[in-house]
């Protein structure tokens, strides 16, 4: 029986093989532009440039070069979660509300160190793979910024601690399954609050108790999957 069926099986295989090959969609594995992302934890070390304006008065953190690190966990899906610390020495202005507006009440800039502690969520736009070694992403981070004191400022203004929110977009360039270069552009939102003396009449510094401030923040980092 098996001897009689063998020619039939071989004949069917000969007919079906070309059809199955024609039905395949996509690239052969060796020639595919897609590669699986390494799963698990990774660490990225950053350098960056914060392009702030300090709010309408300039007393908040302005510009600075920043540095930091991010620890990230990526599951099997396109989402990843991370926690990061950043720090920089920012320039800022000093406004003395007790002086009249025509008497040089603005001075500086002076330096102020600010530390950022945050958590973030990231969505990889190419899923759980890279495309031609690229992995573009969008994300959002939020946390608390801690500003150190500025002894030269006796106006009563204090940056203190500020909650911030930063949507972002960027791309990772993978040199291997584990090593990658990361570029990211952020929009950093936080709320600056001014002391009552800034609003005293007849020559107030500002009529506002507080204001939202938006600052671009550009980051470049070198990451490694552990």
pLDDT tens, position by position, 162-175: 999 999 999 999 99
Assigned domain for 128 exists: yes
Percent of the chain scored above 90 by pLDDT? Answer: 69
Give a yes or no: residue 10 inside a domain.
Answer: no
Tell me the whole-structure pTM to 2 decimals: 0.84
Q: Which two tokens stand for residue 221?
A: 């980092």
- Give Rg (Cα) of the chain: 28
* 54-74 mean pLDDT: 95
CB-count exposure of residue 97 (10 Å: 0-12, 13-18, 19+):
buried
Number of domains within the chain: 1
116 in any annotated domain: yes
Has residue 35 been placed in a domain? no
What pLDDT score does 221 carry? Answer: 98
Is the residue at 173 inside a domain? yes
Specify if 8 maps to a domain. no
Contact 163, 182 (CB under 8 A): no
Average pLDDT, the chain: 87
């Amino acid at each position: 029986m098996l001897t009689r069926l063998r020619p039939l099986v071989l004949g069917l295989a000969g007919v079906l093989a070309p059809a199955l090959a024609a039905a395949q969609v996509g690239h052969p594995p060796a020639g595919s532009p897609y590669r699986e992302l390494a799963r698990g934890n990774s660490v990225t070390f950053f350098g960056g440039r914060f392009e702030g304006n300090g709010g309408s008065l300039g007393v908040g953190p302005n510009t600075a070069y920043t540095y930091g690190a991010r620890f990230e966990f990526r599951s099997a899906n396109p989402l990843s979660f991370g926690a990061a610390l950043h720090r920089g020495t920012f320039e800022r202005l000093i406004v003395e509300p007790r002086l009249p507006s025509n008497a040089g009440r603005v001075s500086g800039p002076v330096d102020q160190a600010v530390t950022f502690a945050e958590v973030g969520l990231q969505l990889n736009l190419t899923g759980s793979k890279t495309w031609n070694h690229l992995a573009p992403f969008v994300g959002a981070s939020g946390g608390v910024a801690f500003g150190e004191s500025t002894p030269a400022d006796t106006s009563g203004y204090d940056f203190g601690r500020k909650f911030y929110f930063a949507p972002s977009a960027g791309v990772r360039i993978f040199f291997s399954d584990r090593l990658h270069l990361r570029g990211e552009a952020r929009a950093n939102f936080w709320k600056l609050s001014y002391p009552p003396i800034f609003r005293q009449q007849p020559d107030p510094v500002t009529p506002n108790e507080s204001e939202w401030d938006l600052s671009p923040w550009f980051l470049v980092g070198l990451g490694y999957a552990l």
